[in-house]
Amino acid sequence: MKIMLLVEELGIGGLPNYVLDLARALNAQGDRTLVAHQGTQVPAHLDCAGVELLGLGDVPSPDHALARIQAWGPDLVHVHLCSDSDLLAALLDSGLALMRSFHDYTSMCLRRGRRRFSGDRCQRPLGWSCALNGCLIGPPQPGGRLPRLMDLAGKINERGMYQRFRAAVVGSQHMGRVLRINGFSDQRIHVVPYFSRFDQQAQQPQPGGKPALHGRPLQLLFAGQAVKGKGLEVLVRALGEVTGDWRLVALSSGPRLASAQALAEKLQLSARITFIDWLPPQELAKHYRAADLFVLPSVWDDPGPLVGIEAMAFETPVLAFAVGGIADYVRDGQTGLLVTDVSAKGLAAGVQRALDAPECLAPLGQAAREWVKHHHSRDGHLRALRQLYQQCADPVHAHPSLGLIPGSLNV
């Protein structure tokens, strides 16, 4: 099949890496893929080897973008992120087979994160009640200073267009529930757990296992964007309350990085925390392998961050808050440590739990690797998607009553 993967931009974060990895994996299965993106540049840190790219950022109109898409002749367009309502309308009118993977809340929330303030975890569907809850006032445009009025009607329209796509794919049970409360039919929702780009590592035990903790610090690892929701500052603050010997490597970049570094300095933790910018996969793998515990301190309902699955492939258990899709794979006392108190104090208790019983980490890590092996394999992910591609591209299934693929997980 000829499959086009469409994203708004290839930037930082887990989504670009996932889409590029998916393209390579589909190509290896005999499909032909193209990654179409609405940006004009691709960052140098992204590994685009073996991936055919199509830039749409320079086209003058959605009709021109559609013409460029149609010229490639896809059997199916798999949208991963697009909020351009004119382009979505053009795609729907074109008759192309369309499906959408929902990796975040962009199409179901004016604020993208379903949170209005720190600690908020909104459970409402997108609707006119959003105006009553103060969500019409949004942050300034990039480079601007004044708050802006959000387009609620436009966002509702965007969601409505995606409800007309032939299938909606999510990576976690949590995201399936979010789609359901937003009016997506059960028949169109398919849970396909993410695969780790290090899934081959999960197929065999860690050579020699993790070194014993006796006489050395607990090695902690964080990898993620330095934005409020990802919780890097919460982690730094939590470590200030922990008793014991530990070291943290924070692989991060973003607008809150300077604040996290300043907080570490203020709490006199700078000597124990190493901040490192984004790394290529080979270098990242070394850090996953060396860590005793991966800390995933997302304080919002993170739909299903890939970094936790990646760490688990290296027999590194995960400490995380019980939010969003994280609980799908971080099982407390089984594959990692789950914290229900979403605060620096709660996270500190989780780190302390690991420090006080370090002998538990190796068994957790081994179980974590087994979990990734059986639930987040590349082959299983591809098998489910390719089956869905075939069904969506089949004209018989173009009717809105498109049903579930046998064996897919309904939420």
Percent of the chain residues topping a pLDDT of 70: 96
Nearest of 363, 332, 326 to residue 349 by alpha carbon: 332
Tens digit of pLDDT for each residue in 18-56? 899 999 999 999 999 999 998 888 888 788 899 999 999
Tens digit of pLDDT for each residue in 184-199? 999 999 999 998 889 8
Whole-angstrom CA distances from 152 to 86, 113, 129, 130, 155 are 16, 15, 10, 8, 5
Higher local confidence (pLDDT), 381 or 114: 381
pLDDT band of 406, cuts 50, 70, 90: very low
Helix H or strand E segment including 282:
helix 281-290
Nearest of 251, 265, 261, 255 to residue 294 by alpha carbon: 251
pLDDT band of 125, cuts 50, 70, 90: very high
- Binning the chain into helix, strand and coil, the percentages to the nearest 5 are 40, 15, 45
Q: Is the pLDDT of residue 411 over 90?
A: no
Domains of the chain (ranges plus CATH)? 2-197+377-397 (3.40.50.2000), 200-374 (3.40.50.2000)
Residue 375: predicted pLDDT: 93
Tens digit of pLDDT for each residue in 199-256? 889 988 877 777 877 789 999 999 999 998 999 999 999 999 999 999 999 999 999 9
pTM reported for the whole predicted model: 0.87
- State the chain's mean pLDDT as an integer: 91
